[in-house]
A and B are shown apart, each in its own frame.
Chain A
Amino acid sequence: MTLSNATDRGPLFFRDRDWHPPAYTPGYKTSMTRAPHRALVALGSTLSEETGPAFGHDMLGELDNNLVMNFTGQPAIGERIIMHGRVLDETGRGVPHVLVEIWQANAGGRYRHKKDGYLAPLDPNFGGCGRTLTGPDGSYEFLTIRPGAYPWPNHVNNWRPMHIHISVFGTGFGQRLITQMYFEGDPLIAKCPIVNTIGQDRAIQALVAPLDMNRAIPMDCLAYKFDIVLRGRRQSFFENRKEGM
């Protein structure tokens, strides 16, 4: 692989942990025993976080970003949608050639996972995962079906809103992020304890993808746009010098 420009190697912007969900969020019950009790040890980034794995097109199959067709070659049942957007960093620059992976339930809200016992049936033609690399401007695109809502055992009658899980890499391991995309107008968003682990409403809105009629294909599929923002990188090379410590 080739080295990208030097600004892809600078120190990482600090993470705003009041913007992200905190670890301990009792409304989401599983977090109660999986949240560290001790304070995180804070540190500026080092080479260990500023470097990261790179992925090439040679690992991708032709249908990897097409969840409608990539399981059996026969189309999955459901509402056909394009999910597209850009991976940016906090300075607004597109992040090219990074790996975006998604996974989701089928149109009935059932996951192809041995631990999911929900009574909605599996779709024999839907596997539920896809992956792609961003283009030179950070753009990405998937074709999939809109996932259904599904119940989960948290409070007695909790239902997850329709959502697609997203895993994204930056150019540094410290930018690694997993999140979930929700759909414009879904009334379950406001009721979801996982969504509401996030304290600020503006942050929640950042996870809601608007309907994008401009990218819909008539008589074929609708579209939703979802931009993903990763931690930025500083561009100064004068900090951190030994004599400055």
Chain B
Amino acid sequence: MTGEPRANLPPLSLHVPEPKFRPGDQAEYSDVIVPPAGSGRRPDPAEPAAQFHELAYGLVRVLDDEGNAVGPWAPRLTPDTLRRMLRYMALVRAFDERMFRAQRQGKTSFYMKCTGEEAVAVAATMALQRDDMTFPSYRQQGILIARDWSLVDMMNQIYSNKGDRLQGKQLPIMYSTREGAFFSISGNLATQYPQAVGWAMASAAKGDTRIAATWCGEGSTAEGDFHSACTFASVYRAPVILNVVNNQWAISSFSGFAGAESTTFAARALGYGIAGLRIDGNDALAVYAATEWAAERARTNQGPTLIEHFTYRAEGHSTSDDPSQYRSANEASDWPLGDPIARLKGHLVRLGEWDEERHAAQDLELAELVKRCQKEAEANGILGHGLHQPLDTLFEGVFEEMPWHLKEQRAQMLAEEEASGRPWARK
């Protein structure tokens, strides 16, 4: 049903965002404003949120095109630290390659890569303390790797095998480790955002010194939980770092559907009274510097920071996705902020602390390392090759103590299994 149009008024029209390029188009990025590295100011970590307009709409960059680290945000890391950062990022990529292939080989049901976004998790984690609590989304495997978490343990989870600490209960890559200060990943988007704020509030209420950091994609900022988290973070000045990984795509919908046509994601912080930084997410040093700055702000009770990491999801959303169905083929290769690993490598080479030979050797070594770990993990079983967990673990952990109705259902299941004569019957 429509209203009666009034002759003297123009008809309204509905704007539905549309990405500039679709399959078959040649993507080009002349409209993406990339300010020169070193151009953004670095405020005092105590500066009031209202003064962050320029930083929330700008783009903090440290590494220039020649591989120099320039400007007030340059974190002045030692060559050893830079090499460690590079190694972690390369390891994340090697891990992703291998696990993606494992899924294609039918060894597991599902995988998600973070190609092109390795700096976002790795460099941020290196700027945090080991016991600062992280509330990641599903694309920050770099946190675990930068915390030297066991690759075999991660793979066990991916394979849901007998070494899986999560007892095969979770979809692959939904890691969880309390010891690694890495919160249990949920499939429900943005739910970790208010949880991170709550964790940070608890830390502050107890007079602790630890802070929390959380990550979500730009698509997830549209969830109500994003809003409630920002409100709580601001109201209670929670010691939390709110990371928005703007990789331009939420599965098939471009960032315009999360509001990017009209504003930046960092700018959303300003309305909440939160310091907002928009940074080059493919510049590991910018990620490190921004996180270090936000951590200092949080640790000195100056409150939360929202960091938008401007980056690009170089591959499909997941193993279940085919990006060639909705976006232009050359988008990733032509992305103006380049590749985070190549850029950090270029910086180290420029410093005379790295070279092509060492890089190639490291890539080889990491590929071997991942392969070795994969073998070790696969010795614990892969998904689909029989049952790796005792059947009745299915009922464990719903509650602290198993109530009667679950005990009854467990007994019933075991009896049915026994009677069926199926190969999965308990050994």
A binds B: no
A interface with B by C-beta (< 8 Å): none
